């Protein structure tokens, strides 16, 4: 049976609402207090299958290469390429099947290989080689263009022709749960004559998917649609934290710089492209037709449901502030990657592409506070009488995502982060203001 077959059943109990049935098998990097070495595992139900243990026991072998999973990142495994990714996933699926005694009946090994998720600490799943952020939701670009530039002509003239992006910072991509310190920066209100330097006053999140590149491409080479697709290892949830006030003053003409360099959070589990295959859908019609190098022979979008929750320090439980879907994206991840390499830009194993903020056509489908509060003119009303236009210290933001199958879901888990005050000053050096 193919590892995506909906009829497959694991020997581990899996709730229908779990993000991690046997049809998913996402990869992550973890450690436990008893065994504090970082290693690669796969999520199954509420447990982690320790691939380093299975590899050492000889139950999994990656193309004859040893020690691939006893590593602090997935990069070594990703470098082996799509055939090995596929074979390994099929083997893991086989080992977890309810009717396969190999692992199920080997009590000693099974106890060592299955780790409860609540006893493990998740780490960054990849060593991020480079981070590029795109701007590929037409609804998002239209909303921001309307607020920041020209409401009669919100899309800039290039937008329908190029997957617009900018080079971000790999250094500050962090795993879910990492606190985000409020950034400092140059701020200038439209009425002020001169800028000042201080804590961001308009701190935002951006709901995005992260695309993990698992294969390199050579400098000087372009990519076909098929080559680009085969380089994509998988997807994560991504929050591109954004300082709107810093951004508005700094972004002309080279784009965001410090406004988006202070932190980008990703979920710890990478859902493989192969696991998403049953949820492939056609994206929006592209009119005008893109230039030939960006043509797509197949649908390259995915039906991934997305939910954003906000919790302030006073709230007992989080409030849902956005529900949207990855399928709305105008430019697909494959088109983004083809375009990224089109000048001759080399791609590396471990490169991370941000999809761009994911907004849908409805008001409740907007993927940033900037859009949800319409640049602060319509603050969100929260339970307990609190209001929010942007994020305040102590606020916690959570993104979840899943594909709904028939009786099961292929989920991403979550990416969460809380805002920490810029004070106490001096933690990162002397106060500057
Ligand atoms: O339209 C603008 O000036 C700015 C847009 C963004 O901040 C979005 C960005 O980072 C790209 C994206 O996430 O879509
Ligand atoms: Ca972004
Ligand atoms: Mg960022």
The answer to whether residues 323 and 247 belong to one domain is yes
pLDDT digits (tens, 9 = 90+) for 253-290: 999 999 999 999 999 999 999 999 999 999 999 999 99
What Å distances lie between residue 309 and 92, 123, 191, 334, 402, CA to CA?
33, 22, 34, 29, 15
Domain-located, residue 9: no
pLDDT digits (tens, 9 = 90+) for 213-269: 999 999 999 999 999 999 999 999 999 999 999 999 999 999 999 999 999 999 999
The answer to whether residues 276 and 401 belong to one domain is yes
**Whose CA is closest to atom 5 on ligand 1?**
144
The arithmetic mean of pLDDT across residues 142-153, rounded, is: 95
Is residue 357 a known part of a binding site? yes
The answer to whether residues 102 and 203 belong to one domain is no
Where residue 388 falls among pLDDT bands split at 50, 70, 90?
A: very high
* From 2, 98, 140, 161, active-site residue: 140
347 neighbors 340 (Cβ within 8 angstroms): yes
Domain-located, residue 63: yes
The answer to whether residues 160 and 89 belong to one domain is no
CB neighbours of 99 closer than 8 A, spacing ≥ 6? Answer: none
Is residue 178 a known part of a binding site? no
Task: Report the pLDDT value the prediction gives residue 63, as an integer from 0 to 100.
Answer: 82
Hey, which of 154, 238, 256 would you mutate to test ligand 1's pocket, going by the most ligand atoms within 8 Å of its Cβ? 256
C-alpha 165: how far from chain center = 16
Last residue of one domain, picked from the residues 86, 106, 123: 123
Atom of ligand 1 nearest to the CA of 137: 14
Atom of ligand 1 nearest to the CA of 247: 7
The answer to whether residues 380 and 234 belong to one domain is yes
- 303: tokens are 């039906």
Closest ligand to Cα 263:
3
The answer to whether residues 261 and 397 belong to one domain is yes
Whether 140 is catalytic is yes
Atom of ligand 1 nearest to the CA of 208: 13
Closest ligand to Cα 131:
3
In the reported structure, the alpha carbon of residue 391 is separated from the centroid of ligand 3 by a whole-number distance in angstroms of 15
The answer to whether residues 190 and 211 belong to one domain is yes
Domain-located, residue 13: no
pLDDT at 425 over 60: no
Burial of residue 409 (CB within 10 Å: 0-12, 13-18, 19+) is buried
Hey, which of 206, 253, 331, 399 would you mutate to test ligand 1's pocket, going by the most ligand atoms within 8 Å of its Cβ? 206
Last residue of one domain, picked from the residues 123, 152, 182: 123
- CATH number (domain holding residue 69): 2.30.30.230
Please name which of 289, 305, 331, 325 lies closest in space to residue 138, comparing C-alpha atoms: 331
Task: Report the C-alpha gap between 129 and 360 in whole angstroms.
Answer: 30
Residues within 5 Å of ion ligand 3, judged at the Cβ atom: 240, 260, 264
pLDDT digits (tens, 9 = 90+) for 300-355: 999 999 999 999 999 999 999 999 999 999 999 999 999 999 999 999 999 999 99
Q: Where are the alpha helices (DSSP H) in 100-149?
A: 101-104, 107-113, 138-148
Is residue 365 a known part of a binding site? no
Domain-located, residue 10: no
Ligand 1 pocket, CB under 6 A: 133, 135, 140, 144-145, 148, 206, 208, 240, 242, 251, 256, 260, 356-357
The answer to whether residues 159 and 281 belong to one domain is yes
Domain-located, residue 7: no
The total domain count for the chain is 2
The answer to whether residues 140 and 110 belong to one domain is no
pLDDT digits (tens, 9 = 90+) for 78-99: 999 999 999 999 999 999 999 9
Phi/psi for 38 (5° steps) reads -70, 135
Domain-located, residue 341: yes
Is residue 328 a known part of a binding site? no
pLDDT at 366 over 50: yes
In the reported structure, the alpha carbon of residue 242 is separated from the centroid of ligand 3 by a whole-number distance in angstroms of 6
Burial of residue 294 (CB within 10 Å: 0-12, 13-18, 19+) is buried
Last residue of one domain, picked from the residues 77, 105, 123: 123
pLDDT at 9 over 50: yes
- CATH number (domain holding residue 349): 3.90.850.10
39 neighbors 52 (Cβ within 8 angstroms): yes
The answer to whether residues 171 and 106 belong to one domain is no
In the reported structure, the alpha carbon of residue 351 is separated from the centroid of ligand 3 by a whole-number distance in angstroms of 14
Domain-located, residue 388: yes
Domain-located, residue 208: yes
Task: Report the C-alpha gap between 311 and 304 in whole angstroms.
Answer: 23
The arithmetic mean of pLDDT across residues 145-162, rounded, is: 95
Query: H or E stretch including 256?
Result: none
Is residue 149 a known part of a binding site? yes
Task: Report the pLDDT value the prediction gives residue 424, as an integer from 0 to 100.
Answer: 60
The answer to whether residues 220 and 326 belong to one domain is yes
In the reported structure, the alpha carbon of residue 217 is separated from the centroid of ligand 3 by a whole-number distance in angstroms of 24
Computed over every residue of the chain, the mean pLDDT equals 96
pLDDT at 433 over 50: no
- Rounded to two decimals, the pTM is 0.97
Check the CA dihedral 76-81-86-90 and report its sign.
negative
Is residue 388 a known part of a binding site? no
The answer to whether residues 47 and 102 belong to one domain is yes
In the reported structure, the alpha carbon of residue 145 is separated from the centroid of ligand 1 by a whole-number distance in angstroms of 9
Whole-complex ipTM? 0.92
Q: State which residues form the domain around 172.
A: 131-420
What SS3 state is found at 148? helix
């Amino acid at each position: 049976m193919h590892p995506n077959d909906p009829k497959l059943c694991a020997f581990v109990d899996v709730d229908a609402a779990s993000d991690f049935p046997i049809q998913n098998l996402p990869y992550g990097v973890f450690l436990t207090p008893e065994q504090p070495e970082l290693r690669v595992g796969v999520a199954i139900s509420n447990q982690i299958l320790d691939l380093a243990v299975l590899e050492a026991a000889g139950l999994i072998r990656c193309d004859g290469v040893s020690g691939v999973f006893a590593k602090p990142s997935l990069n070594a495994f990703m470098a082996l390429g799509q055939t090995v990714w596929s074979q390994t996933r099929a083997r893991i699926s086989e080992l977890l099947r309810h009717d396969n005694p190999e692992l199920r009946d080997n009590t000693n090994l099974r106890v060592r290989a299955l780790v409860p998720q609540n006893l493990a600490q998740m780490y960054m799943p990849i060593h991020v080689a480079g981070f590029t952020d795109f701007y590929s939701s037409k609804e998002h670009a239209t909303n921001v263009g309307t607020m920041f530039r020209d409401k009669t002509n919100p899309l800039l003239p290039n937008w329908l022709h190029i997957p617009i992006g900018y080079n971000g910072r790999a250094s500050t991509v962090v795993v879910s749960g990492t606190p985000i310190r409020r950034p400092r920066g140059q701020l200038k209100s439209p009425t002020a004559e001169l800028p000042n330097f201080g804590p961001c006053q308009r701190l935002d999140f951006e709901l995005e998917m992260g695309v993990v590149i698992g294969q390199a491409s050579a400098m000087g080479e372009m990519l076909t649609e098929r080559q680009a697709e085969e380089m994509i290892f998988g997807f994560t949830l991504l929050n591109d934290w954004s300082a709107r006030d810093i951004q508005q003053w700094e972004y002309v003409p080279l784009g965001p710089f410090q406004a988006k360099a202070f932190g980008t959070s990703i979920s710890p589990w990478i859902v493989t492209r192969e696991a998403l295959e049953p949820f492939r859908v056609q994206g929006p019609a592209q009119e005008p037709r893109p230039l030939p190098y960006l043509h797509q022979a197949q649908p390259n979008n995915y039906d991934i449901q997305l939910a954003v929750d906000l919790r302030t320090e006073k709230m007992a439980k989080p409030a849902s502030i956005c529900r949207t879907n990855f399928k709305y994206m105008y430019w697909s991840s494959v088109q983004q990657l083809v375009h990224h390499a089109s000048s001759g830009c080399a791609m590396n194993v471990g490169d991370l592409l941000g999809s761009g903020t994911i907004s849908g056509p409805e008001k409740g489908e907007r993927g940033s506070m900037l859009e949800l509060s319409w640049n602060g003119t319509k603050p969100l009303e929260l339970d307990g009488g609190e209001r929010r236009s942007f994020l305040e210290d102590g606020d916690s933001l959570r993104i979840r995502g899943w594909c709904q199958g028939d009786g099961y879901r292929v989920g991403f888990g979550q990416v969460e982060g809380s805002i920490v005050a810029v004070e106490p000053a001096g933690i990162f050096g002397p106060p500057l203001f």
